[in-house]
C-alpha cells in the first residue's frame, strides 16, 4: 500500500535528519520528490517483485516480511547492513 502524504513527509524528515554524506545540488524539494518517486515506483512494481520471488517464499511470507527482506538486501548492497557473521 502506498504511503499517504503524512507517511511520505515522515520518510523525508527522517532522511533529512539521518542523511550521511553530501547531497550537494539537491534541494529539500528534490529529496521530497525522490521519496515520492520511490514510493510510486514500489507501488507500480509490486506485482513484478512478488512474481520474482521463489514460490515458497511468495506464498508463505506476508507483505511486511517481503518488504523487510527487500530492505535488508538493499541495505547490504550499499554497505549499511552489518551482520553477526561479518
47 in the same domain as 21: yes
Quick: pLDDT tens for 8-44: 999 999 999 988 788 888 999 999 999 999 999 999 9
78 and 61 in a single domain? The answer is yes
Question: What range does the domain containing 14 cover?
Answer: 1-52
pLDDT class of 75 with cuts at 50, 70, 90: very high
User: Is the domain of 34 the same as that of 12?
Assistant: yes
Q: Are residues 30 and 67 in the same domain?
A: no
- Using an 8 Å Cβ cutoff, are 50 and 66 in contact? yes
What is d(CA 73, CA 75) in angstroms, rounded to the nearest whole number?
5
> What is the model's pLDDT at position 1?
84
10 shares a domain with 31: yes
pLDDT at residue 50 in the model? 97
Residues near 59 by Cβ (< 8 Å), separated by ≥ 6?
none
The pLDDT assigned to 60 comes to: 98
From CA 10, how far away is CA 28, in angstroms rounded?
A: 13
Mean pLDDT of the region 66-76 = 96
The pTM of this model reads: 0.85
The count of structural domains within the chain is: 2
Amino acid at each position: 500500500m502506498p504511503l499517504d502524504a503524512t507517511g511520505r513527509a515522515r520518510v523525508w524528515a527522517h532522511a533529512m535528519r539521518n542523511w550521511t554524506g553530501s547531497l550537494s545540488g539537491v534541494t529539500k524539494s528534490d529529496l521530497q520528490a525522490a521519496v515520492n518517486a520511490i514510493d510510486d515506483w514500489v507501488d507500480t512494481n509490486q506485482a513484478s517483485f512478488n512474481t520474482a520471488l521463489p514460490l515458497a517464499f511468495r506464498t508463505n511470507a506476508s507483505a511486511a516480511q517481503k518488504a523487510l527482506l527487500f530492505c535488508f538486501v538493499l541495505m547490504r548492497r550499499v554497505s549499511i547492513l552489518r551482520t553477526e557473521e561479518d
